[in-house]
Amino acid sequence: MFYEPAKRDHGLPRDPFKACVVPRPIGWVTTRHPDGRLNLAPYSFFNAIAGDPPMVCFAPGGLKGEGTVKDSLAFARAGGEFTCNLATWDLRAQMNLTSAGLPAGQNEAEFAGLTLVPSRLVRPPRVKESPIHLECRVWQILDLPPDAKGEPNNLVIGEVVGVHIDEAALTDGFVDLRKIRPIARLGYKDYAVVDTIFSMDRPPGGD
């Protein structure tokens, strides 16, 4: 089959695009407004985009129910910082709860039964229960083309200035993904968990 996304002519029950770019890491993003308000939300349009300096990005598209931009975008723009907390199999239910459209001012971390702890270099806190945290400073926020409803799409790019790794997540000095079992977003309502890992040597001259 072939379809053009702008024409929405796929003829399927749901647009399959998100099921074609998988698995996608989940950016479990904490932001803090200068006035002290906090937000915690998961984004599956998230990834690492550079290694030196380390850079990550997330895309908080669309609007909240009252027609304003999402808090993650507004707070990252105003505060200039964010943290990314690794979503794992053990935290899957809590991660999902933080995606709820809560009333203004309600704390997503408290709603999900999570503990926020201070970061070292940035103001947004971290999710204590997560085994890995990235402290980030906003490098640039890009305006992307709006969606079919005319709602905004944005890309927040941040430089990772601090990394926290739980010692229990390490085996012989390496991050042991079999221990922490990160989860990833697939299409539709589906997710995946990292529990099978294989290695391959790259060919000579490969990056």
Residue whose C-alpha is closest to residue 54's, from 77, 80, 24, 84:
84
- % of the chain beyond a pLDDT of 70: 99
More confident residue, 66 or 80: 80
Residue 128 CA to residue 35 CA, distance in Å, equals 22
Q: What pLDDT is recorded for position 168? A: 97
Residue whose C-alpha is closest to residue 33's, from 70, 60, 62, 58:
70
pLDDT, tens only, 34-57: 999 999 999 999 999 999 999 999
Mean pLDDT over 5-24 rounds to 94
163-179: b (≥16 Cβ within 10 Å) or e:
ebebeebeeeeeeebee
Mean pLDDT over 126-151 rounds to 96
**Residue 97: its H or E element:** helix 92-97
Q: What pLDDT is recorded for position 62? A: 84
Q: How many CB atoms lie within 10 A of CB 23?
A: 17
CB 17 within 8 A of CB 6: no
Query: DSSP string covering 137-153, please?
Result: EEEEEEEEPP-TTS--E
DSSP letter for 131, please.
S
Residue whose C-alpha is closest to residue 136's, from 87, 79, 57, 82:
82
**Residue 30: its H or E element:** strand 27-32
Residue 62's identity, in one-letter code, is G
pLDDT above 70 for 207: no
Q: What is the band of 148 on the pLDDT scale with cuts at 50, 70, 90?
A: confident
> Which of 63-72, 81-90, 182-191 bottoms out in mean pLDDT, i.e. has the lowest?
63-72
pLDDT, tens only, 98-115: 999 888 778 999 999 999
For all residues of the chain together, what is the average pLDDT? 94
Residue 85 CA to residue 28 CA, distance in Å, equals 5
